[in-house]
Amino acid sequence: MIKISVNLQDRSYPIYINTDYAQIGRCVQSARLTGRIVLITDTNVDKCQSEECIKAFLDEGYEVSKFVIPAGEENKNLETTRDIYKHLLGLKLDRNATLIALGGGVVGDITGFAAATFLRGINFVQIPTTLLAQSDSSVGGKVGVDFEGSKNIIGSFYQPKFVYINVNTLKTLPDRELRAGLAEVVKHGIILDDEFYEYIDYNVHKIFNRDEAVLQYIAKKNCSIKASVVEKDEKEGDLRAILNFGHTIGHAIETVMDFALLHGECVSLGMVGAMRMAQYLEMIDESLVNRVKGTLDKIGLPTKLEGIDVDKVYNQMFYDKKIKGRKLIFILPRKKIGEVIQCTIDDEDLIKRVIASLGE
C-alpha cells in the first residue's frame, strides 16, 4: 500500500493507495476514529462497490450504516443535504461520528459538506471510486453543493481524516467516466509537470485497459502534485488557484449545458479555451495548443462544442467563485507545458472570441 501525506499542521492527513479495500479498517484505527460510522454513497456506486467496501469494515470489527443518495450532479444540492441531515439525526450521532464518502466527486463534495456542518463538524473520510475523484476532488478539502444553477457556490474547506484510494474501483467505471477523469489528470501535467503529461499521453491505451501499475502511478503522482499545492495554499489564496486551469470556462459550459456534459468533459473544453486564450495573447504558439488538443482527442475528450452559446457561457462565468472585482480570472500556460500563471482579464471581446473558437 502506498502512503502519501498532506501536511497541514493539525489538519494533516494521509492518502492511502491500494488495489482493494482490505486495509481500510486499519486506516480507521490509525486515524483513531472511535465513533459510529455512516457510509454515504449513490445509487450507481451502491450497486458495484458498497458490499465489498462494507465487508472490509465488518472484517475488522467495525459496524457501518449506509445511506444512499440519487446519483448525478443535479442532486448535489441543499435538498439532498437535508435528506442526509435527517438520516443522521435519526441515528442520534454524536460529534465522534464519521461520515465516509464512497463514490465520485458528487458524493465526496456533498458528504464533506454535510460532515463540515452537522453538529458543527464531524469526522470525514474520502473513498473515491472515480478517476476524477481519485486524481482531484478527494484531495484538498473543498466541499460543497450547487445552488440556483451555480456550481459549488455554497461550501467550505474541510479536510478529511484520510483518503483511501482503491484503484481497482476503476474497473467498474464506464469508459466515458474514465475519460472525464483523465481531464483532471492531464490538467495536473499541464500546470506543473511536463514529464507526467508525456507519461499520460504515452500510456492512454494502458489506462483504458485498467493497467493496475499505471493506475497506481497516476494516483500517486496526481495526489503528490495536488498535495504539494494544497500544503502551500490550503484555502486558495494564491498558488492553489492554478488547479482551476480550464475551470473558468469549463464550469460555465457545465452549467449552461444543464450538466448534460460531465465535469471532465467541460474541463477539457475549458483547457482548450485557456490554451487558445494564451495563444491569442502571444504567450504560447499554436503548436502547443495543438499538442494539448491532440492528447485530449486521443483520450476521446471533447475539444469543440458545436452550437455553443457564446453570450450564455460568457454571462454564466460571472456567477463563478473565480472572479475579482467583476473581472474574470484565468489560469494560462506560459511558454511551455508545466508552467502557468494567473491572469485577470476584462477584455470581453477576447473572452468571447475564445468561447466562440470552441464551436469552430
Q: What is the CA radius of gyration of the chain?
A: 20
Residue listed under C-alpha cell 458528504: 111
Would you call 236 a catalytic residue per the annotation?
yes
Which residue in 337, 251, 253, 247 sits closest to 290, CA to CA? Answer: 337
- CA-to-CA distance for 40 and 67, rounded, in angstroms? 5
Selecting among 236, 254, 276, 293, the annotated active-site residue is 236
Q: Is residue 264 within 8 Å of residue 180, measured between CB atoms? A: yes
Selecting among 87, 142, 179, 276, the annotated active-site residue is 142
Largest CA distance in the chain: 61
Would you call 226 a catalytic residue per the annotation?
yes
Would you call 188 a catalytic residue per the annotation?
no
Within 13 A of 353's CA, how many CA atoms are on the CB side? 12
Would you call 290 a catalytic residue per the annotation?
no
Would you call 184 a catalytic residue per the annotation?
yes
Would you call 244 a catalytic residue per the annotation?
yes
- CA-to-CA distance for 115 and 142, rounded, in angstroms? 12
Selecting among 251, 254, 265, 276, the annotated active-site residue is 251
Selecting among 177, 184, 254, 265, the annotated active-site residue is 184
Q: Is residue 95 within 8 Å of residue 119, measured between CB atoms? A: yes
Selecting among 87, 187, 226, 293, the annotated active-site residue is 226
Selecting among 187, 263, 276, 293, the annotated active-site residue is 263
Task: Determine the residue type at 236.
Answer: E
Would you call 120 a catalytic residue per the annotation?
yes
Q: Is residue 153 within 8 Å of residue 144, measured between CB atoms? A: yes
Would you call 247 a catalytic residue per the annotation?
yes
Selecting among 247, 265, 276, 293, the annotated active-site residue is 247
Selecting among 73, 244, 276, 293, the annotated active-site residue is 244
Selecting among 161, 240, 276, 293, the annotated active-site residue is 240
Would you call 203 a catalytic residue per the annotation?
no
The answer for residues whose C-beta is within 8 angstroms of residue 254's C-beta and 6 or more apart is 73, 151, 261, 263, 266
Q: Which three cell numbers stand for residue 115?
A: 460532515
Residues known to be catalytic = 120, 142, 184, 226, 236, 240, 244, 247, 251, 263
